[in-house]
Chains A and B, each alone.
Chain A
Amino acid sequence: MQPQPTQRNRLPSELAPAALDVNSTVIAHYARLTDDFNPIHVDPDFAATTPMGGIIAHGMLSMSLIWQALARSLGQAGRERIELKVRFTRPVRLGDTVTAGGRLLPDASPACYEVWVQNQAGDPVIVGTAQRIPGGAGEMAAK
């Protein structure tokens, strides 16, 4: 079923950005939250010996910004009954600033956002889609 025009019209065409400066304190905090102490994230000596050549952040750390962008733009509808699918396309390094965003896909039904996280150079580090899961109360709607 096609979404009603009024529903689609209420959706923002772009998600409000959410950004994070990735430093060693942030990475260490996220490692504790997830209990993920993979040395590629937390051990600079080990990380220097890998093909990455240094510390990289947890991919899910940057992914969390997409949830923030959804919540900022869609309110509670951006926090409930959402399917998020992403690919990690580039490593995020110490000192990077990453920013999540998204764009409403024009012809998708039900409504679907193309989502991404970019680094400070504008290179995508995460790409994917976010879509309301049918059922529950109402369709994806602006806050």
Chain B
Amino acid sequence: MFDFERFRPGELIGARDFDLSEQALQDWLALFPDDRDGDLMPPGMMAAVSIRAYSDILSPRPPGNVHAAQEYRLLRRPRQGAQLTTRVLCAEKEIRKDRRWVTFDSETTDRESNEIAFTGRMIVIWAA
């Protein structure tokens, strides 16, 4: 279980791969058809990539966590067929007003070009 005590600010927690397959793109567009933009990944799909990595790496988590804030920096959109790797690290943690706040940073890289496609910052009120 990933509890609050386990996090070390600055520590890499893990990395996960995501293939931006035609199927992955079509699954997204089935819900958000207006997002179609050729073979380029819709910006909203950053969430699918980063949350998948976060959920898979930080498992199991205590029930009752609250997603308080989110940031993304979209640098270059991957194209269909891109193989992405997302690294997730603990950036900060603090106890404020009796709540446990944890900040996670993520960085998603296109493995072919080795360039950063986008970064994310997720702030969570951790339950335990």
A34-B70 contact given A67-B42, A80-B77, CB 8 Å threshold = no
- Interface positions of A from 54 to 100, Cβ below 8 Å from B: 59-60, 63-64, 67-68, 70-72, 79-88
- Interface positions of B from 33 to 56, Cβ below 8 Å from A: 34-35, 37, 40, 42-44, 47-48, 51-52, 55-56
A84-B32 contact given A63-B47, A68-B44, CB 8 Å threshold = no
Contact of B68 among A64, A68, A70, A87 (CB under 8 A): A87
What does DSSP make chain B's interface, helix, strand, loop or mixed? mixed
Give the total of A residues in contact with B, Cβ under 8 Å: 31
B128 interface residue per 8 A CB criterion: no
**Is the beta-carbon distance between A64 and B32 smaller than 8 angstroms?**
yes
| B27 closest partner in A (C-beta) | A33
Residues of chain A at the chain B interface (Cβ within 8 Å): 18, 26, 29-30, 32-36, 39, 50, 59-60, 63-64, 67-68, 70-72, 79-88, 133
Jot down 10 A-B pairs with beta carbons below 8 A, ordered by A. A33-B31, A34-B51, A67-B35, A68-B34, A70-B43, A81-B76, A82-B43, A83-B73, A83-B74, A85-B69
Residues of chain B at the chain A interface (Cβ within 8 Å): 27-28, 30-32, 34-35, 37, 40, 42-44, 47-48, 51-52, 55-56, 63-64, 67-77
